[in-house]
Amino acid sequence: MDLSGVTALFSDLEVVELTTWVERGWVQPDSTEAGWEFHEIDVARVRLLHDLRRDMDVAEDALPLVLSLLDQVYELRGTLRSLLGELQSRSPELFATVLASVVRDPTRR
């Protein structure tokens, strides 16, 4: 999807604002001879930025910190998902024990 296609998804998103987000590295579409090519993950990131700015009223100068923290959470979730998948494939019994322990007391540290 190109730049105009992405902005068409949002009634109040201007090309200038989306361009700024790309230039700041908050959205990272592929660069082609014709311009930027936004993939599904890029559109999801634009939607997140749009929600943060419009619905949650996050200040623009706070966005780098918020995005960094959210990226860390997503990365951690992926790592945990991989770890649990590996554990389940190697030792279903241990996986079941660990999962039961976490589900029983999710606040346990």
Kindly state whether residues 52 and 11 are assigned to the same domain: yes
DSSP line for 34-94: TEEE--HHHHHHHHHHHIIIIIS---GGGHHHHHHHHHHHHHHHHHHHHHHHHHHHH-HHH
pLDDT of residue 103: 76
Each residue's pLDDT tens digit, 29-88 = 999 999 999 999 999 999 999 999 999 999 999 999 999 999 999 999 999 999 989 999
pLDDT of residue 98: 85
Largest CA distance in the chain: 54
Specify whether the CB–CB gap between 1 and 38 falls below 8 A: yes
Kindly state whether residues 67 and 50 are assigned to the same domain: no
Kindly state whether residues 7 and 54 are assigned to the same domain: yes
Does residue 109 sit within a domain?
Answer: no
Kindly state whether residues 54 and 16 are assigned to the same domain: yes
Kindly state whether residues 81 and 53 are assigned to the same domain: no
Please say if the pLDDT value at position 95 is more than 90: no
Please say if the pLDDT value at position 97 is more than 70: yes
Kindly state whether residues 20 and 50 are assigned to the same domain: yes
Q: Residue 78: which domain range? A: 63-104
Kindly state whether residues 7 and 51 are assigned to the same domain: yes
How is residue 29 annotated by DSSP? P
Q: What is the residue whose two structure tokens read 């079941």?
A: 96
Does residue 45 sit within a domain?
Answer: yes
Query: Helix (H, G, I), strand (E, B), or coil: what is residue 31?
Result: strand
